[in-house]
Structures are given as C-alpha cells and as structure tokens.
Amino acid sequence: MGWMPMKARRDSRQLKYWGNILKMDDSRLVKQIYRQCKTRTSSIKGSFCYSVKKLLESLGLGHLWTSEQIGELKDWVSLMLASVKQKDKEIWLAALQKKSKLRLYRVLKSDLQINYAWKQDVGARNRRQREFVKYV
C-alpha cells in the first residue's frame, strides 16, 4: 500500500511504542514510570497514557488497556496496523460520502489502495514526478 496519512502513522508508532513498553522487563525504569503514570495520568488529557487509552478505545481495542495482553510484539504490530488502516479507511469512506461531486468516483473506487495507473515515467529530469504514487 501507499503512505498512510500522518495521523495514522503517528497513531501506529505510538501504539507500537506502547507495545514495546509492555514487553520490557519490569526492572526497566521506563516500565516502572509507565506503571506509575498509568494509575495517575490515564484520565489527564494530553498525557501519554490518556492518548493511548483513547486511541485503543477508538480502534475497538479498549480491552487491551486493562488486560495488557498483547501477545508477541510481531503479532501486536500486525493487529495494530490492521486496526489503524481499517479506521483510516472508514474515515476516507465517510469523507467520500460527504462530497456530492464524487458520485462517479464512489462507484468506481470502493477500496482504499494505490492506483498504479497514476504512476508516470516522465524521464530523469522530473524524478519527483516519476516516483509519484497516489494513495487513494
């Protein structure tokens, strides 16, 4: 697939870091600080714990906040990326439905994926255009 929007990339990196914290040994300082902050700052807007909790809830993974049972890190990353991409697709479809001028586009384009027909080979002079791949 193409590039995810910046918010989706930020969310996925934040959740991956949260998974890394959970997989750390309990003697690590970062994990000890996380444990303290989880009990104290999970309801304070703007804190790391608050944002992770709200993000998990928005992805339908809120139960993982309390259980912290994410399995292997590789499996967690796969699940998290699939959830973030699904949410991004839902946002894209909702935005597509709002615009009346995109009626034909809605009929032709039902899935969020790279459109390789837009990839152009325009020579070495315009390298930037040659590498352009539209994420739609």
Give SS3 for 135.
strand
User: Does 37 have pLDDT greater than 80?
Assistant: yes
Q: Is the CA virtual torsion 111, 117, 121, 126 positive or negative?
A: negative
Pick the closest to residue 88 from 55, 64, 116 (CA basis). 55
> CA-to-CA distance for 23 and 9, rounded, in angstroms?
21
**Residue range 111-131, pLDDT digits in tens:** 666 555 544 554 555 555 545
Query: Nearest to residue 48, comparing CAs of 27, 65, 72, 73?
Result: 65
* Per-residue pLDDT at 89: 86
**Domain residue ranges of the chain, discontinuous segments joined by +:** 6-84, 99-136
Determine the length of the chain.
136
> What is the pLDDT averaged over residues 61-90?
92
pLDDT grade for 36, boundaries at 50, 70 and 90? very high
Q: 3-class DSSP state for residue 39?
A: helix
Task: Please give the pLDDT value at position 126.
Answer: 55
Per-residue pLDDT, averaged over 20-49, amounts to: 93
Percent of the chain with pLDDT over 90: 52
Cα-based distances in Å from 134 to 11, 100, 107, 120: 22, 22, 19, 11
Nearest CA among 63, 105, 110, 108 for reference residue 83: 63
First to last CA, the chain: 10
